[in-house]
Amino acid sequence: MKRYAVFGHPVLHSLSPKIHRTFGQQSGIELDYVAIECAPGDFAAALSSFAKSGGQGANVTLPHKQRAAELCNLLSNRARRAGAVNTLIRHDNGWLGDNTDGVGLVRDLTGRQGLDLRGRRTLLLGAGGAARGVAPALLEAGVGDVFVVNRDSTKADALIDQLGEPGRMHARYFDDLGTLGEFDLILNATSATRHGTLPTLPMSLVGPRTAAVDLSYGEAAIPFLAWARAAHAHTTVDGLGMLVEQAAESFFLWHGVRPDTDPVYTELQARHAALITAD
């Protein structure tokens, strides 16, 4: 049986094993897909052990995406541009790294959510692996100027340098947020809400057509989306659809089969809604 995994810290809550098993059932492909918890300092060893045990592919989530890129001896064009990897493909001499986060996000926003991203003035909160994964695809989808805000300004500058779009992308501090005006698209790519905190965000960022998107899903997305609704954002979206779509792209890279994402998304969304109602 083919072996796959998702690496992260924390990761045991991940829906990826269920998603990929469902894709396998759809496609008639038998596979073993598990979640592997490992701290940042243990990731390289854990990945090596997985490869030696027959692992043929893996997904990578926080906080390992940039380290994963460093461990690959081959990178796809989109992984190289992002400087971060979320999908690993085993080959004879090591790992090929790719990044399906951006295409997954854009497919969800433009397809399932029906958003036209072209020309949208965009605020990207965060400059880590999650932000790096989606920024190139957003630019390719035609968004307007992108303002990157991160607590460590050097990371925001590094992201802009990585993408080579200095005229279109702009680094700012969190203290600048009150002076930036309204945005048509606001994306939360920080990990702060995973720890129960949300950076102070002025409501002046939100206008009548603003779409607010959290790249996380479940409880981690609640604080940001609650802020966006209180600010009267036109549209609020969590990262569940992105999760399913990026998984489908990974599945395609591994197996050459493109799964049907709609029934998987519908099932997971219904389960999430039921959990919120129960609480």
**Averaged confidence pLDDT in the chain:** 94
Domain assignment of residue 186, yes or no: yes
* Orientation of helix 240-255 relative to helix 262-278, angle to 10°: 140
What letter represents residue 123's amino acid? Answer: L
Supply the CATH number for residue 204's domain.
3.40.50.720
Q: Cβ(69)–Cβ(75) under 8 Å?
A: yes
- 224 and 125 both lie in a single domain: yes
- 127 and 190 both lie in a single domain: yes
Domain assignment of residue 27, yes or no: yes
- 36 and 54 both lie in a single domain: yes
- Supply the pLDDT for residue 152: 82
d(CA 126, CA 156): 8
* Orientation of helix 153-163 relative to helix 129-140, angle to 10°: 40
- Supply the pLDDT for residue 275: 60
Domain assignment of residue 278, yes or no: no
Spell out a b/e string for 102-130, using b for 16 or more CB atoms within 10 Å of the CB, else e. Answer: bbbbbbbbeebeebebeebbbbbbbbbbb
- Supply the pLDDT for residue 250: 98
Domain assignment of residue 85, yes or no: yes
Domain assignment of residue 171, yes or no: yes
- Supply the pLDDT for residue 225: 96
Q: Cβ(29)–Cβ(68) under 8 Å?
A: no
- 90 and 108 both lie in a single domain: no
d(CA 13, CA 154): 31
- 133 and 186 both lie in a single domain: yes
Q: Is the pLDDT of residue 233 over 60?
A: yes
52 belongs to the catalytic site: no
- 77 and 111 both lie in a single domain: no
Residue 249: band (very low, low, confident or very high) from pLDDT cuts 50, 70, 90:
very high
Supply the CATH number for residue 95's domain.
3.40.50.10860
Whats the size of the chain, residue-wise? 279
Catalytic, out of 2, 18, 52, 65: 65
- 28 and 83 both lie in a single domain: yes
Give the residue-averaged pLDDT of 226-255.
Answer: 98
d(CA 118, CA 120): 6
- Tell me the binding residues: 14-16, 61, 86, 101, 126-130, 215, 217, 239, 246
- Tell me the binding residues for NADP(+): 126-130, 215, 239
- Supply the pLDDT for residue 37: 97
- 16 and 96 both lie in a single domain: yes
- Tell me the binding residues for shikimate: 14-16, 61, 86, 101, 217, 246
Percent of the chain with pLDDT over 70: 96
C-alpha dihedral, 122 to 126 to 128 to 132, nearest 10°: 0
- 106 and 236 both lie in a single domain: yes
d(CA 160, CA 147): 10
- Supply the pLDDT for residue 263: 97
Largest CA distance in the chain: 55
- 125 and 48 both lie in a single domain: no
Q: Is the pLDDT of residue 279 over 70?
A: no
Look at 55-59, 94-98, 162-166, 265-269 and tell me which has the smallest mean pLDDT: 162-166
Residue 273: band (very low, low, confident or very high) from pLDDT cuts 50, 70, 90:
confident
Q: Is the pLDDT of residue 224 over 70?
A: yes
Sorted by sequence, the CB contacts under 8 Å of residue 249 that are 6+ apart come out as 87, 100, 103, 104
Domain assignment of residue 276, yes or no: no
- 13 and 39 both lie in a single domain: yes
Domain assignment of residue 24, yes or no: yes
Domain holding 227, by residue range, is 102-240
What sections of the chain are H helices per DSSP?
16-27, 43-52, 65-71, 77-82, 101-107, 129-140, 153-163, 222-230, 240-255, 262-278
- 113 and 60 both lie in a single domain: no
Residues 114-132 have pLDDT tens digits of: 999 999 999 999 999 999 9
Domain count, the chain: 2
Sorted by sequence, the CB contacts under 8 Å of residue 140 that are 6+ apart come out as 102, 106
